[in-house]
Each structure stands twice: as structure tokens, then as C-alpha cells.
Amino acid sequence: MQDMWDPILSEFEGLEFRFTDSPKHSEDSYSKGLALCKENKCGCYGLTWGCPPGAPGKDEIKTILSTYSKALVIFREFPVSDMKDREELGRISKGFQEMIRDISLKARSAGIPNFPLGDGGCMFCEKCSYPEPCRFPDRKVVSVSAMGIDMESFLGGIGIKFEFKSDSIELYAIILYPD
């Protein structure tokens, strides 16, 4: 199945990719991820279908992770002029999520079912329909934190160093897909 990704990924310059097994569900990581989301530092908690309580719950997460046993990890470092500039950070995050969404949609068109995950809440709609039904479920990107994925451990396990820098941000996404 990995070969099916090559023509899709070749369209996206500047991104790095790793293929691996999907993250394993952990009650501890799920609890920590949910607690992080509830702190609402990103301002998305309770506002989008990609974040709790609209994101998949614990039982659904277990099903998703067992259905999609493989993971495409996507990452890229972006220079940032001012780490306190929330507008700049928001533009970068939204642009990265658009690339993830494009990869996911192209993969589905190529016959690869998948489930995309990203940093922060889903940013597709100007105003999310939550709690009304999602208007574009095929374009939804769910938060990695909402899924209970400890990104530092997960990335470290595949040789990617997770770190914070003063002049750039590295954004990560995971596209889950079946074996």
C-alpha cells in the first residue's frame, strides 16, 4: 500500500514523511490528551468536530486505531518571525492543515481510505457547525490530542525529535490508513 502514496506525496514539496504503524491506544495518554484539550489553550474545546467533546470518544478511538493500522506521519518546520503572533501562527497552522486535508482527499480518490489527524482543531470551515452535524465530514481533521496520542513518545519511537524552538515551529500530522 505504501507505493500507492508515492504519486500523491510527490505533489507536496517541503514536507517530510515517515511510514509506520498507527499509534497504540493508551488509557493514560488518552486521559492526558483530554486534559490538555480541556485546558483550552488553543480556544477550540467544545467548538469544533475535531476537538472534544465533538471528536471521537474513547471507544470510537479504539475502533479507529484498530481499523487504520498504519500511519503516514507528515511534518514540516516553518520559520516564525514572532512566536507570540497568534495570527501568524494561525495562518501557518491553517495552511499546513490544508495540505494534510489535500493529501487525505487525494489518497481517498486513489482508493486509500484514511483518517487524518493534525495539530489543533479542525480549521476547514470559517465557523464550524458544532454541535449541529458536520457539514463536511470528509474534510474534517481531528486533533491528535483529542485522540489521546502522546506525540513526543510516538515521534520519538520512529526517530523524530519533538522539540520547541524560539524562531520556528514544527507541525506534525498523522494520516491513518489500513494495512
What is the DSSP code string of 85-118?
-HHHHHHHHHHHHHHHHHHHHHHHHTT---EEEE
pLDDT for 120 equals 86
Residue 109 lies in a domain: yes
Residue 122 lies in a domain: yes
pTM score: 0.94
Residue 18 lies in a domain: no
Domain hosting 49: range is 2-10+26-177
Cell triple for 150: 502522546
Residue 126 lies in a domain: yes
The 10s digit of each residue's pLDDT in 115-126 is 999 988 899 999
Residue 19 lies in a domain: no
Residue 40 lies in a domain: yes
Nearest by Cα to 50 from 154, 122, 126, 151: 122
Residue 75 lies in a domain: yes
Total domains, the chain: 1
The 10s digit of each residue's pLDDT in 124-142 is 999 999 999 999 999 999 9
pLDDT for 47 equals 93
